[in-house]
A and B are shown apart, each in its own frame.
Chain A
């Protein structure tokens, strides 16, 4: 039995800067495992332990996603091994392209019963890679998953829906995107990091994968920094809170916000 966790090694746009020309500068950002992916790994680890499944981490992206440091950071969270596609042609790849490459890796690994992903990536936050991935594999996808029990082939999946929650039963292979609060991931300790260094990491050539050709060619023809509303940046004196409150309410009435 095999469970794959697809994770992303990337940076937080909070740490990026944008030039007047709209070009994003990531040089000061420190890459890491995307914020919500440790949740996916933790949920998958729990299921793998309960079902004696092998837990395989998969990541695809540009140069840097497969450095020993990056691989160890993922493996130390409880993966048994990792399969990594590191190719600069994937720099800035769209959701559909990333999903197609992950699907090709899942097919290559073979006999995978389940793919688990995080809620959304910290950089793009599109929430579409797991759903396109499922489409590529011909498997069902379920998002906002809060817990997974049972066996692959007869999974019991809790998930949040608008207005409440549901318990689903899934009878075949599936792609599950965990909700951001599905669990609280543990912080790997020194022992986990040492063990991670000994776990197998397989680097796969993008060219060696059977990735279906996209019918769409995307070309970026321009970039711009979006115009933001000018803000007043007025700090009110709060040494007397009652006066500050009165001043704020007066100002809000004047601008028509009340």
Chain B
């Protein structure tokens, strides 16, 4: 049994149970775009059991293929980098590689490019697609997935006969292990997609999963300038600042990697402090794993209070300033 971070939960992976005994071969493919952040995918693939191989197909730069080749996988196929093309342009090569050696399970991470590659592989295999896997058990003829659905309000146990594509949190960049495997280069006619321009974000990138304490800002905050109040609290708490979806998309006060929720980041910090957040299901599903949840909201009927350890009904400006001064 092992413990892994999957879909916002620490879960016990215990599926190294080959129902027909040892020697069963469970082949898995991992699809990789231009980021080698696939540590969790490797852990999951390895846990599938048997003596099957883990192969990775990389549609990003050679450096990504090199990182993946040194990560402990059994095989690496690299699609090359067609001139000036994004990873998505290599979807045909990815689909071809996966279909040429069909797996029981194909895994991909959640970033936009990886999703496209996983979709191409799934279509080529006519595979089932699941996006909320909490655990996977591989049997002789079927794969059983406990899959969180509808904003994680229900867990469905799904039995699949045939190939299955799983979209999972990619995890961190895997550490080098051993001598690595050779990189096999393949080619296929890429799609006609070219990058004309790349514009760096005005916002600093953040890994919310690395933070022990996180403050979530919602639309209760009236103006972007008022973020300085939150920044002061974050400094006093040694916390990262995150937000609800509209604050990053729409208001554009922060980078998209800072919004929490069913389609954003899912975090499990020691402390989550929701400031001016109403507590919609789509947001709160991203913090169900938090050890302690605190909410500050002026509306006593806000849904957030039903999902917290400590609730403070009142003016967030006043309360945040007071908490900051107590911490100092």
Question: Measuring CB to CB, which residues of chain A are less than 8 angstroms from any residue of chain B?
Answer: 13-14, 16, 18, 22-24, 94-96, 99-100, 119-120, 122-128, 130-136, 138-144, 156, 159-172, 174, 179-181, 212-226, 228-229, 231-236, 238, 241-242, 244-246, 248-249, 251-252, 255-258
Contact = CB atoms under 8 A, between A and B. Distances in A.
Contacts of B326: 242, 245-246, 248-249
Interface string B299-322: 000000111111111110011001
Nearest to B262: A125
Nearest to A179: B249
B271 A125 contact: no
Contacts of A220: 156-159
26 contacts: A14-B151, A22-B156, A24-B150, A95-B129, A96-B128, A124-B131, A124-B150, A128-B119, A132-B122, A140-B91, A140-B116, A156-B196, A166-B195, A170-B192, A180-B250, A181-B252, A215-B127, A221-B158, A223-B157, A231-B293, A233-B305, A235-B312, A236-B311, A252-B292, A257-B213, A258-B237
Most buried by A among B115, B121, B125: B115
A24 B154 contact: yes
Contact of B249 (A24, A181, A236, A252): A181
A246 B118 CA distance: 50
A120 B198 CA distance: 24
Chain B at the A interface: mostly helix, strand, loop or mixed?
Answer: mixed
B86 interface: yes
Given A132-B119, A135-B119, A241-B322, A125 B263 contact: yes
Interface residues of B, number: 100
Given A224-B155, A245-B319, A214 B162 contact: yes
Contacts of A257: 213, 270-271, 291-292
Among A94, A159, A162, the one with the most B-chain Cβ atoms within 10 Å of its Cβ is: A162
Contacts of B130: 94-95
Nearest to B132: A126
A100 B58 CA distance: 25
Interface in B192-212: 192-201, 205
B257 to A, nearest CB: 7
Nearest to A127: B115
B101 to A, nearest CB: 15
B300 to A, nearest CB: 8
A171 B159 contact: no
Contacts of B122: 96, 128, 131-132, 135
Contacts of A94: 128-130
B194 A169 contact: yes
B210 to A, nearest CB: 15
Nearest to B120: A135
B308 A167 contact: no
A35 B123 CA distance: 26
Q: Considering residues A135, A141, A215, A252, which has the most beta carbons from chain B within 10 angstroms of its beta carbon?
A: A135
Interface in B157-207: 157-165, 167, 191-201, 205
A222 B131 CA distance: 17
B59 to A, nearest CB: 12
Nearest to B197: A167
Given A160-B256, A163-B205, A245-B326, A222 B157 contact: yes
Most chain A Cβ neighbours within 10 Å, of B162, B312, B325:
B312
B129 A126 contact: yes
A241 B314 contact: yes
B245 interface: yes
B43 interface: no
A231 B119 contact: no
B162 A217 contact: yes
Contacts of B144: 221
B1 interface: no
Contacts of B81: none
A23 B154 contact: yes
A131 B118 contact: yes
